[in-house]
Amino acid sequence: MELQSLTAISPIDGRYRAKLAGLSDYFSELAFIRYKVRVEIEYFIALCQSGIPALRGVSADLFEPMRDLYRGFRLEDGQRVKEIEAVTNHDVKAVEYFIKERFDALDPSLKAAKEYVHFGLTSQDINNSAFPMMLRDALQNEVINGYDAVIGKLQEFVAEWSGIAMLARTHGQPASPTTLSKEIRVYVARLDRQMEILRGLPYYGKFGGATGNMNAHYVAFPETDWHEFAADFLADQLELERAYPTTQISHYDNLSVVFDNLKRLNTILLDLCIDVWLYVSMEYFGQKTVAHEVGSSAMPHKVNPIDFENAEGNLGIANALLDHLSRKLPVSRLQRDLTDSTVLRNVGVAVSHSFLALLSLEKGLDKLTVNRARIAADLENNWAVVAEALQTILRRENYPNPYETLKDLTRGKGKVDAATMRAFIDGLDVSEAVKQEMRAISPSNYIGAE
């Protein structure tokens, strides 16, 4: 069966393909091959510039045409690599042979020099440089923008909803009032901190030969400081720091830091989705309707918070994958086993579910409206929450047993309203000035400072 959106097994490449098409430039098989070609080409150019005698004849004029092999990498090029891989049964060796083919067509002078493609390397020098670049570029060019868009919308809410008093709920029960803007600002502060960390995280590449010691390089050219060469190459050409020392593979600790940071961001957003869903169910929030959309196949009145539910679901899937990536990748038998290879190919799936959640969340936030009347009514219906304020003032005035006095008035009793509180205050043995101070307190103004 031909692969298309309706026949794809994964919803990432099926139902949601149109929304996630931009991530294909970083996490598809074609993208992975392109990044591997980039590492191999840049490494070959760096060798040419290193002074190796056999490469002195390679003209610097050929460097940019070489780079065009990955800059202009096409679907047909990827298909050719896969044809070679079908014979070699090795993805990186197929990339090496593909580049050698292209070198033959590029310039006859590269015939002898082309044997320095992949010189002294193992496949993980290529893969463990390509993957960090793919993840870095996807986050910086696509995903971080999604997080920023959500944070930006929340910041707009903080400004727009400033001063709206709201009943808080701790353990699901009415609690001391707060403000809607402050509750949103809590999420902004949490997300800002994690975004600051994410933006500052370095990305590392592994470059050290078959077991990390540059053995082949040193046996061929012992006079060259190959460890320094590797560090400079990664930094200057690929904008990666060098992970050293390593075994045959990257130890992945640094990628785990990225995955764990994304998990924390997603967990904060999942918390937000649940809270917004609850506020919608409490009618604190309304949702703008869209013409021709339906909320239920049976109930015409329904306007469901589906965007927040979709976001919550995708955040959960993303975090399950990110958690596995974070815990599994740093573990490898002795100098290397192959379990990292297949697991690593799912990084794009985890990031895609995160990004899909961001799109849903941004869409849902755009639909929100504030039901000020419902919020105000809930405050007015819960005068018992000012008990904290009254007993605190009584403590200040050295009134006997203030906590217990308010507890007897409010805890587990029937409706406590403004009249109840006024009668209670009127009966207190305190000065009239203190009574006036207490009478001025209401659920709508007992909000502290934002």
What is the pLDDT, as a whole number, of residue 229? 97
pTM assigned to the model: 0.94
Cα–chain center distance at 308: 16
> 266 to each of 147, 175, 427, how far by Cα in Å?
10, 27, 52
* pLDDT per 10-residue tile (average), the chain, 450 residues: 80 90 95 98 97 93 98 97 97 97 94 95 96 98 98 98 96 95 98 98 96 96 96 98 95 96 98 97 89 62 84 98 97 92 94 98 96 97 95 95 91 87 95 96 93
What is the pLDDT, as a whole number, of residue 306? 92
Residue 323 to residue 300: CA distance in whole angstroms:
40
Q: Is 296 a catalytic residue?
A: yes
Which one is catalytic: 171, 292, 297, 301? Answer: 171
Name the helix (H) or strand (E) containing 374: helix 372-380
What is the pLDDT, as a whole number, of residue 404? 93
3-state SS, one letter per residue, for 246-304: CCCCCCCHHHHHHHHHHHHHHHHHHHHHHHHHHHHHCCCEEECCCCCCCCCCCCCCCCC
Residue 38 to residue 396: CA distance in whole angstroms:
71
Count Cβ atoms within 10 A of the Cβ of residue 47 and give its class: 0-12 exposed, 13-18 middle, 19 or more buried: buried
Residue 357 to residue 351: CA distance in whole angstroms:
10
- The shares of helix, strand and coil residues in the chain, as percent rounded to the nearest 5, are 65, 5, 30
Q: Is 171 a catalytic residue?
A: yes
What is the pLDDT, as a whole number, of residue 297? 53
Name the H helices within 13-122.
Answer: 17-20, 24-27, 29-49, 63-71, 75-88, 91-106, 110-113
> 161 to each of 156, 157, 220, 371, how far by Cα in Å?
8, 6, 68, 11
- Nearest to 427, CA basis, from 411, 445, 409, 407: 409
Radius of gyration of the chain (CA): 31
Name the helix (H) or strand (E) containing 309: helix 306-328
What is the pLDDT, as a whole number, of residue 92? 97
Which one is catalytic: 5, 10, 296, 431? Answer: 296
**Contact yes or no for 26/345 (Cβ under 8 A):** no
Q: How far apart are the first and last CA of the chain?
A: 59
Count Cβ atoms within 10 A of the Cβ of residue 80 and give its class: 0-12 exposed, 13-18 middle, 19 or more buried: middle
**Contact yes or no for 128/36 (Cβ under 8 A):** no
What is the pLDDT, as a whole number, of residue 414? 77
Q: Is the dihedral of CA 319, 171, 437, 375 positive or negative?
A: positive
**Contact yes or no for 188/204 (Cβ under 8 A):** no
What is the pLDDT, as a whole number, of residue 292? 64
What is the pLDDT, as a whole number, of residue 3? 76
